[in-house]
Amino acid sequence: MRRNTSRGRTSHTPQPHTAHRRTAAVALAGVAALIAVAAQSGVAGAAPAKPQPGRMNPAHAAVGLTPSQRAELIRHADTATAATARSLGLGAQEKLVVKDVVKDADGTVHTRYERTYAGLPVLGGDLVVDTARSGRTTGVIKATRATVKVAGLTPAVSKAAAEKQAVQQAKARGGNRSAADSVRKVIWAASGRPVLAYETVVGGFQDDGTPNQLHVITDATTGKKLYEYQGIETGIGNTQYSGQVNLTTTQSGSTYTLTDGARGGHKTYNLNHGSSGTGTLFSQNNDTWGNGTTSNAATAGADAHYGAQETWDFYKNTFGRSGIRNDGVGAYSRVHYGNAYVNAFWDDSCFCMTYGDGSGNNDPLTALDVAGHEMSHGVTSNTAGLDYSDESGGLNEATSDIMGTGVEFYANNSSDPGDYLIGEKININGDGTPLRYMDKPSKDGSSADSWYSGVGGLDVHYSSGIANHFFYLLSEGSGAKVINGVSYNSPTSDGLPVTGIGRDKALQIWYKALTTKFTSTTNYADARTGTLAAAGELYGTSSAEYAAVQDAWAAVNVGSRSGGGGGGGTGSTYDNNTQMAIPDNGPAITSAITVSDRSGNAPGNLQVSVDITHTWRGDLVIDLIGPSGKAYRLKNFSSSDSAHNVKATYTVNAATETANGTWKLKVQDQASQDTGTLNDWKLTFP
């Protein structure tokens, strides 16, 4: 795309805003405040019983629901969706659809909803409602803060035009289809102001043989592409087997099949190098499967079956989750996909896990962390539904790395001991190195160790490095150490040490955040807020665990440190959520926050959080203007940064500024063809 870099310099009259001051407190009140700070609305309830130091607060632990108990909770929520929508102030044309429920031991129910508008799905309209045992709403977390409303429901752009654009996008990425699988009208709300749009899904195959499910969102008024993401979620490969293991199979007469009746009826099929359907269920007249080599097709089947078994048990025994959807129903696995296919993938549309046989069909990608990683994509899809693009896509991938690592440690298999290396036993790189390193992600040559403003533009497998690094630091801490015979040496972006709290606690915090705090649009700043909220509920806001979450995020350049104390500190956040349009290649806009209740100077680590919707963020230049009039550059112009949106937290040394006064955010678009909206910005004084 040809870019015009001429610049406009006209000033824009500031819009002062009465600052909303939020101060971190203790227990649930502090948690609710943190949720609110991340632009996810919440109302504080009564404080729970104070947990004992270092122990999880049992009141906020999720209880294991039987399929019938879960179904009953969903039915109950479903009968009240109209009343819930009214209580949340949703418009007359908006309706809620129940997606999932989580129940805590104290009776709190976290209900996850999708939303419709005039009967159309609202993509990015998902939300989580927390309800106390008494029935009182105690918190709401929304994927978008915008009011869902559009001017009309009649498209100016034809469905055929949207389909043509999507098919072209798919072909540019190796797709082989001349027509889309489906085109539907939707409301697109994930990138700021809701608009009438088309969602087009193009199937077929990608250039490496992976099935294609490219989703393209097109503005139904202008015809402009708003967003795209790949519905097939691929990831790591691992060709190493797990040795001799016990499998749960099913016998009928003299025939045995790879059917796991103890885990929701999970089945493992042999595609025999096909690429569609289920293939043939593994079946034989004895219960010994494979011979440990690729000369026997059942070897890969045994590995896949074992991986599904251990992943089910990990989620069940660690979090009380009964299967990927938490409904007691098993997925199914397919091995020997395609010809020399060097990957594995989860497909939510078939609720199945698929493995290729690797280069030369000699190395089936059927190891334990593959199963844990890929099937965790299914868990994410059926909980937070993190969009598979930008920062949310990195969090999606990281969740699978985190949970796949959890599965590997959980299995405690001597043939594949737990580690923080992803794909360490395969040779895709040709040199025997892992695909990813959680202790120092940049060791793979592409992944990010810490957050920066352009990280959302990376491939999601590389932007995942930030959360992977956070999880490692939270679990094990920084510095050099040896775990299960593997040497690690994890750095921090601020040069300060982090003390880990152990992998078990880190997993509980991440899972609770995933299932009750994250939404489809969660970015890294939101993930910090969500994990802090989860840590506060589980261990208390004055706990070492809560402080460790703060410190681990700060160590990957997301937010500030705990201040060395034992908890949430006394930080305050001020925000201005008045939306302002950003003129295309025009004058700068300024939005103001007035601070009047502090003393002395601002800190040297003032946090400035910015939420901007924009279709070519490289056009934007962003400055913080202090009360003295001094400008602090947050983001420079970059003609090559074509990614969407700015959802970032910047650290500013503002120690020479007085804290009280009017602070301004100045935003200017310095190139033509793309527009955007300032949705929200915040100042946080740690």
Q: For the segment 590-636, what is each residue's pLDDT rounded down to a tens digit?
A: 999 999 888 889 998 898 989 898 988 899 999 999 999 999 999 99
Neighbouring residues of 131: CB distance < 8 A, sequence distance ≥ 6 = 108, 109, 111, 137, 138
Average pLDDT over residues 237-244: 54
- 3-class DSSP state of 94: strand
Burial letters for 392-406: b for 16+ Cβ neighbours within 10 Å, e otherwise?
bbbbbbbbbbbbbbb
- 3-class DSSP state of 173: coil
Structure tokens at 553: 């995020």
With 90 as the cut, is the pLDDT of residue 32 above it?
no
Structural domain boundaries in the chain: 27-36+385-564, 37-142, 159-231, 250-382, 572-685
C-alpha–C-alpha distance, residues 225 and 615, integer Å = 9
Average pLDDT over residues 583-591: 95
C-alpha–C-alpha distance, residues 537 and 532, integer Å = 9
For this structure, is 461 an active site residue? yes
With 60 as the cut, is the pLDDT of residue 122 above it?
yes
Which CATH class for the 37-142 domain? alpha beta
Average pLDDT over residues 234-263: 76
With 90 as the cut, is the pLDDT of residue 108 above it?
yes
Average pLDDT over residues 238-264: 81
Question: Is 448 in contact with 458 (CB distance < 8 Å)?
Answer: yes
The dihedrals phi and psi of 680, each to the nearest 5 degrees, come to -170, 145
With 60 as the cut, is the pLDDT of residue 60 above it?
yes
10 Å Cβ neighbour count for 316? Answer: 15
How does residue 21 score in pLDDT terms, banded at 50, 70 and 90? very low
Q: Which amino acid is at 157?
A: V
With 90 as the cut, is the pLDDT of residue 575 above it?
no
Average pLDDT over residues 179-189: 94
H or E element, residue 476: helix 465-476
How does residue 54 score in pLDDT terms, banded at 50, 70 and 90? confident
Average pLDDT over residues 296-325: 94
C-alpha–C-alpha distance, residues 400 and 370, integer Å = 9
C-alpha–C-alpha distance, residues 67 and 86, integer Å = 29
Question: Is 234 in contact with 376 (CB distance < 8 Å)?
Answer: no
Give the model's pLDDT for residue 203. 86
Radius of gyration of the chain measured on its C-alpha atoms = 25
639: left (phi over 0), alpha (psi -120 to 50) or beta: alpha
Average pLDDT over residues 483-500: 94
Compute CA 86 distance to the chain's CA centroid, rounded to the nearest angstrom.
Answer: 29
Average pLDDT over residues 245-262: 89
- Computed over every residue of the chain, the mean pLDDT equals 86
How does residue 2 score in pLDDT terms, banded at 50, 70 and 90? very low
Q: Which amino acid is at 119?
A: G
Percent of the chain past pLDDT 70, that is, above it, reads: 88
With 60 as the cut, is the pLDDT of residue 20 above it?
no
Catalytic residue among 215, 336, 377, 461: 461
With 90 as the cut, is the pLDDT of residue 579 above it?
no
Torsion sign (Cα): 348, 349, 355, 359 = negative
Give the model's pLDDT for residue 527. 95
Superfamily designation of domain 572-685 = Galactose-binding domain-like (2.60.120.260)
For this structure, is 60 an active site residue? no
Angle formed at CA 27 by CA 24 and CA 33, multiple of 5 degrees: 35
C-alpha–C-alpha distance, residues 431 and 424, integer Å = 11
Give the model's pLDDT for residue 52. 60
How does residue 427 score in pLDDT terms, banded at 50, 70 and 90? low
Q: Which DSSP string corresponds to 297-327?
A: THHHHHHHHHHHHHHHHHHHHHH---STTSS
Give the model's pLDDT for residue 346. 93
The dihedrals phi and psi of 442, each to the nearest 5 degrees, come to -65, -10
How does residue 461 score in pLDDT terms, banded at 50, 70 and 90? very high
> What angle, rounded to 10 degrees, do the helices at 524-539 and 390-411 form?
40
Structure tokens at 318: 């660690």
Give the model's pLDDT for residue 673. 86
Kindly list the distances between the CA atom of residue 466 and the CA atoms of 409, 552, 585, in Å, as whole numbers in the listed order. Answer: 21, 10, 33
With 50 as the cut, is the pLDDT of residue 37 above it?
no
Q: Does domain 159-231 have CATH number 3.10.450?
A: yes
Average pLDDT over residues 366-379: 91
How does residue 235 score in pLDDT terms, banded at 50, 70 and 90? very low
Torsion sign (Cα): 411, 414, 416, 420 = positive
How does residue 292 score in pLDDT terms, banded at 50, 70 and 90? confident
Question: Which of 385, 323, 300 is closest to 99 using CA atoms?
Answer: 385
Percent of the chain past pLDDT 90, that is, above it, reads: 64
C-alpha–C-alpha distance, residues 71 and 377, integer Å = 22
Higher-pLDDT residue of 18, 357:
357
Give the model's pLDDT for residue 428. 64
Question: Is 145 in contact with 680 (CB distance < 8 Å)?
Answer: yes
C-alpha–C-alpha distance, residues 426 and 303, integer Å = 15
Lowest average pLDDT, out of 93-107, 412-426, 566-580, 637-651, goes to 566-580
Beta strands in 24-149 (DSSP E): 94-103, 109-117, 120-131, 137-142
Residue in the block written with tokens 């001020």:
574
Helices (H) and strands (E) in the chain, counts: 12, 32
Considering the domain delimited by 250-382, tell me its CATH architecture. Answer: Roll (3.10)
Q: Is 564 exposed, middle or buried (0-12, 13-18, 19+ CB in 10 A)?
A: exposed
C-alpha–C-alpha distance, residues 118 and 170, integer Å = 30
In this structure, which CATH number among 3.30.70.580, 2.30.130.10, 1.10.390.10, 3.60.21.10 belongs to the domain 27-36+385-564?
Answer: 1.10.390.10
Burial letters for 610-635: b for 16+ Cβ neighbours within 10 Å, e otherwise?
bbbbbbbbbbbbbbbbbbeeeebebb
Give the model's pLDDT for residue 158. 95
Domains 37-142 and 159-231 share a fold: yes
| 662 beta partners | 594
pTM, rounded to two decimals: 0.74
Angle formed at CA 310 by CA 309 and CA 311, multiple of 5 degrees: 95
Structure tokens at 88: 């949340």
Angle formed at CA 286 by CA 282 and CA 291, multiple of 5 degrees: 70
Higher-pLDDT residue of 52, 269:
269
Catalytic residue among 114, 163, 374, 537: 374
C-alpha–C-alpha distance, residues 54 and 50, integer Å = 11
Q: What is the pLDDT of residues 645-685, one digit of tens each?
A: 888 888 899 999 999 999 999 999 999 888 899 988 989 88
Lowest average pLDDT, out of 119-128, 178-187, 226-235, goes to 226-235
Give the model's pLDDT for residue 642. 81
Give the model's pLDDT for residue 435. 87
Give the model's pLDDT for residue 236. 36
How does residue 148 score in pLDDT terms, banded at 50, 70 and 90? very high
C-alpha–C-alpha distance, residues 492 and 530, integer Å = 21
Lowest average pLDDT, out of 11-20, 238-247, 372-381, goes to 11-20
Q: Which amino acid is at 124?
A: G
